[in-house]
Amino acid sequence: MESFEVLLRTELLAHAIRAYDIGYLLLAPDLSILQGNLPVTRWLDRPLGEVVGQEATVAFPELVGIEPILHALKEGDAPIRFEDVYRSSDDGLGQYFDLEVQCLGQGSGLLLLTTTDVTRKARQEFLLQQQRNEVQLLSAELSAANERLNYILNRLVPPAVAQLMISDRQKPEPGVKLAGESTILFADMRDFTVIAEAYQPADTLEFLNIYLAIVAEAILRHDGSLVQLVGDMVMGVFNLPDSQPDHPLRAVRAALDIQDSLRQHRFGHRRLSGLSAAFPLCSRRGCHQRGFPPEFACRAGAHPDERIDAACR
């Protein structure tokens, strides 16, 4: 029975060596190579016969620098282990093996160096990591693209409408979900074309930005949505996309708020781009004195549905 168990262990060991392509080198206490098997030569840059009698560091440069640790190995100590050691291959993908050195014990002082082929595992892990990196890159690009699309969409439509379109997974169709009654507020600057021709571009841009900010903030203060800013014209809408039963009142209050804010705002009386506070400005009605910045005037009114419909035809 004992001889059978020894034979079984020997056969199992031989099977494991073949299955896992396990190579080995037997090392003397001075780390010189005593013998080895054929599988270990896969990781050597020379035939086995040329390394027998040489120090183990000649066969495996990975051991250079840890010789004192190897000399100090004793029976029962944890093996010295190197994982995923690389060797080049003809296909360019590389080959990998795990290298382990342990003390055989029983007072012999001999060391056993083993190699295990892990090329398939290492390549799979490398491929998996590469796929993870590609997914992360695609995710980052998708996030950046979504941010750009959100920015563009918020520039084209009111933020509330943009958020509704983003949250809805279906393709938006004009007038399908947002059709309904609304109140629209239009505001523009009187004689803006004449003003723009008379002043320097930088000065025109400065007071135009102030004017647009005042109008836009008044519309938003009353929960309206900015639909368009074209030149000096601002278009706001109420009751879309969120329901506002008092939307006509909100629009009128916003218009009055614009008037009050423009009256109260102090644009300053300083020289801008060489212009004095009394710059002669010529309008279509004739030439008269007008200071900087120009005066703003607004009016609030209502247009019945029939007039708007007729204007759109």
- What's the 3-state SS for the chain? CHHHHHHHHHHHHHHHHHHCCCEEEEECCCCEEEEECHHHHHHCCCCHHHHCCCEHHHHCHHHCCCHHHHHCCCCCCCCEEEEEEEECCCCCCCEEEEEEEEECCCCCCCEEEEEEECHHHHHHHHHHHHHHHHHHHHHHHHHHHHHHHHHHHHHHCCHHHHHHHHHCCCCCCCCCCCCCCCEEEEECCCCHHHHHHHCCHHHHHHHHHHHHHHHHHHHHHCCCEEEEEECCEEEEEECCCCCCCCHHHHHHHHHHHHHHHHHHCCCCCCCECCECCCEEEEECCEEEEECCCCCCCCCCCCCCHHHHHHHHC
2-119 and 180-312 share one CATH topology? no
Residue 186: which region, alpha, beta or left (left: phi > 0; alpha: psi -120 to 50)?
beta
Q: Which CATH superfamily is domain 2-119 in?
A: PAS domain (3.30.450.20)
Measured between alpha carbons, how far is 300 from 190 in angstroms, rounded to an integer?
14
Measured between alpha carbons, how far is 164 from 290 in angstroms, rounded to an integer?
46
pLDDT at 270 over 50: no
pLDDT at 265 over 50: yes
Give 87's Cβ-side CA count (13 Å radius).
Answer: 22
Tokens, residue 210: 């102030």
Contacts 24+ apart (CB under 8 A), 230-234: 231/188, 231/192, 232/188, 232/189, 232/192, 232/208, 233/186, 233/187, 233/188, 234/185, 234/186, 234/187, 234/188
pLDDT at 228 over 60: yes
Round the average pLDDT of the chain to a whole number and report it: 78
> What is the reported pTM?
0.47
CB burial of 208-223 (b: ≥16 within 10 Å; e: otherwise) equals: bebbbebbbebbeebe
Q: Could you give the percent of the chain with pLDDT greater than 90?
A: 38
Confidence of residue 278 (pLDDT cuts 50, 70, 90): very low
Region 27-33: mean pLDDT is 94
User: What residue segments make up the domains of the chain, in order of their start?
Assistant: 2-119, 149-176, 180-312
Residue 2 has what pLDDT?
56
Residue 1 has what pLDDT?
53
pLDDT in tens, 82-136: 999 999 988 888 999 999 999 987 778 899 999 999 999 999 999 999 999 999 9
Contact 240, 161 (CB under 8 A): yes
pLDDT in tens, 72-82: 998 889 999 99
Q: For the domain 180-312, what is the CATH code?
A: 3.30.70.1230
Confidence of residue 268 (pLDDT cuts 50, 70, 90): very low
Say which amino acid occupies 38: L
Cβ contacts of residue 86 below 8 Å, gap of 6+? 94, 95, 96
pLDDT in tens, 195-215: 888 888 888 888 888 889 899
Confidence of residue 138 (pLDDT cuts 50, 70, 90): very high
Cis peptide before 159 (omega within 30 of 0): no
Bridge-based pairing state of the strands 23-27 and 111-117: antiparallel
Q: Which of the pair, 105 or 60, is modelled with greater confidence?
A: 60
For residue 184, give Cα distances in angstroms to 142, 190, 223. Answer: 36, 19, 13
Confidence of residue 194 (pLDDT cuts 50, 70, 90): confident
